[in-house]
Amino acid sequence: MTNALERLRGFCQALEDAGIPIAPEYIQEAQFDRNSGYTSAKRLLQLLPRPTAIFATNDLMAMGALLAIRDAKLVCPKMFQ
């Protein structure tokens, strides 16, 4: 999927430009849906050290990530109700 690869390249380039290293395990391959966002976020939240931010490539994945964050009893600023 070209669009997904372009988003990944842009994400990696932005981190590189900012001097922020990224561990390969922080990049999760997923579908563009809520369930994939949830599952990927659950995996990310189990890593040590745990990421301090999650970049979702679309709104559905972001919604799934927010649900995983809530289920982990973490707080995301301005999270939906």
* Confidence band, pLDDT 50/70/90 cuts, at residue 79: low
pLDDT in tens, 44-66: 999 999 998 999 999 999 999 99
> Three-class SS of residue 9?
helix
Tell me the average pLDDT of the chain: 91
Average pLDDT over residues 25-42: 95
Total-model pTM = 0.84
Average pLDDT over residues 27-35: 93
Compute CA distances 35 → 17, 23, 40, 63, 70, whole Å: 31, 23, 8, 9, 14
Instruction: Look up the CATH architecture of domain 2-71.
Output: 3-Layer(aba) Sandwich (3.40)
Q: In the predicted model, is pLDDT for residue 7 greater than 70?
A: yes
What angle is formed at CA 39 by the lines to CA 26 and CA 42, rounded to 5 degrees? 60
CA 19 to CA 4: how far, in whole Å? 23
